[in-house]
Amino acid sequence: MSSKDPVEEKKTTKKSTKKKTTTKNTSSKEITNESTKKVTGYIGQKVMKGDLIKLDLLGKTVPTAIDNTSVTFQVSNMDDAAKLPNFDPEKSHLYTPELVLVGEKSGSVFEKIGDLLTSGDIKYGEEKNIILDPKDAFGVRDPKNIEKMSYKKFMGIAKEKPRLGMEFRNEKTGKTGQVITVDQGRIRVDFNHPLAGRQVEYRVKPLERMDKFEDKVFAFISRRIPGLEQDKFPLDHNKSTNTLNITTPDFFGLQQGVGMSEFYVAYDLQNNLGLETVNFIHSYKKPPTPAPHDHEHDHDHDHDHDHEDEKVDLGKDDSIAEEIAKPTNKKSTTKKSTTSKKPIKKTTTSKK
């Protein structure tokens, strides 16, 4: 999961380029980034189609004659992130490499970057720079994506007064734009991507290849649910039924949004690793019963003290107290809470 929002703007003297997609080999650089220290064994090996890899990306806009600024919009390691003016070390999960199945058009990287990975011209640990034209990146600017609306309509949707540069989202259409003009009760909102119409430059560096089945599974889990420890998710893969059981930590299933995240993990595993069924097993263990306490009074029992006054009248709740006092042999409750089966393909035949 990489940070893809525009996060840095700086002046640069680099001239505008009108070249089409190009690559620049920087493999002679020594690898010093913390995120690349694991890949020593892969250096010198070519990235091949079908490899499941972690890919380090640094994306920024290319300056133009009109706009000589460069905006960094994607970083995927802590070293690059630390150079940003708004870097937050508490959000390290945002600055992680992209998980890419080389050769699959999954949308995790732009198509031209995918073509570079399958070309056989890039090796693990090697850096290459690639420039993408707008049509190959965030698209060209389309005047039709600039919408005019009345003040009343805007207020009915946004529920706040329009301000120049504010983000505007229409929940009905799902479109997000930016207010570009506010004039005499008329508002113009630009629904083009903020980087539409800009050339962008990526630094691309393949870091790691996952060969073991367990590592591949956990990589897909981490992409949807970051910040987890691999040994906390034991796997049971039944090859005969092509079923994978994933045991989660205690009470993991109670976390908000887990169900939807598990659905997407199952989708990734089924489509990328060919699994038929993915089960997530959630356990809810009974807490240990506290040891009985010896209730001794520190005061003298020979005084005139009415202990009957200390009794609590449970009334109708006596049955509840008796039920609580009953011993139980139940130790834990374990259930397969989420089962995702691969959809059955339906064939529709249309006869002339």
Does residue 225 or residue 31 have the better pLDDT? Answer: 225
Distance in angstroms (rounded) separating the CA atoms of residues 99 and 4: 14
Confidence of residue 226 (pLDDT cuts 50, 70, 90): confident
Top CATH class, 213-287+331-341 = alpha beta
pLDDT one-digit tens code per residue, 80-101: 999 988 888 888 878 899 999 9
- Mean pLDDT is lowest, of 25-29, 78-82, 156-160, for 25-29
Mean pLDDT value of segment 325-335: 48
Pairing of strands 186-190, 175-183: antiparallel
Q: CB count, 10 Å around CB of 168?
A: 21
pLDDT one-digit tens code per residue, 243-273: 999 999 888 888 888 999 999 999 999 999 9
- On whether the CB atoms of residues 122 and 164 are closer than 8 A, the answer is no
The pTM of this model reads 0.67
- On whether the CB atoms of residues 273 and 239 are closer than 8 A, the answer is no
- Residue bearing tokens 């690059």: 80
Report percent pLDDT > 90 for the chain: 53
pLDDT one-digit tens code per residue, 37-86: 444 567 789 999 999 999 999 999 999 998 888 999 999 999 999 998 88
pLDDT for position 225: 87
pLDDT above 90: residue 227 = no
pLDDT for position 18: 42
CA angle 300, 303, 306 (to 5 degrees): 110
- Please give the mean pLDDT across all residues of the chain: 79
Confidence of residue 229 (pLDDT cuts 50, 70, 90): confident
- Residue bearing tokens 């887990």: 258
Per residue, the 3-state secondary structure of 134-203, as one string, reads HHHCCCCCCHHHEEEEEHHHHHHHHCCCCCCCCEEEECCCCEEEEEEEEECCEEEEECCCCCCCCCEEEE
Give the domain ranges of the chain. Answer: 8-139+196-209, 143-190, 213-287+331-341
Helix or strand (DSSP H, E) at 220: helix 213-224
Pick from 51, 109, 96: nearest CA to 225: 96
Distance in angstroms (rounded) separating the CA atoms of residues 179 and 161: 11
- Residue bearing tokens 């630094």: 203
pLDDT above 70: residue 36 = no
Distance in angstroms (rounded) separating the CA atoms of residues 33 and 82: 12
pLDDT for position 122: 96
Distance in angstroms (rounded) separating the CA atoms of residues 205 and 207: 6
Backbone Cα Rg of the chain = 29
Confidence of residue 298 (pLDDT cuts 50, 70, 90): low
- Between the CA of residue 229 and those of 38, 52, 127, 218, 232, what are the distances in Å? 17, 20, 29, 9, 6
What fold, for 8-139+196-209? Answer: Chitinase A; domain 3 (3.10.50)
pLDDT one-digit tens code per residue, 170-184: 888 889 999 999 988
pLDDT above 90: residue 137 = yes
Mean pLDDT value of segment 120-133: 95
Mean pLDDT value of segment 181-201: 93
- On whether the CB atoms of residues 341 and 244 are closer than 8 A, the answer is no
pLDDT for position 121: 94
**Residue 27 DSSP label:** T
The token pair at 331 is 């130790």
Are 8-139+196-209 and 213-287+331-341 equal in CATH topology?
no
**Residue 346 DSSP label:** -
Top CATH class, 143-190 = mainly beta
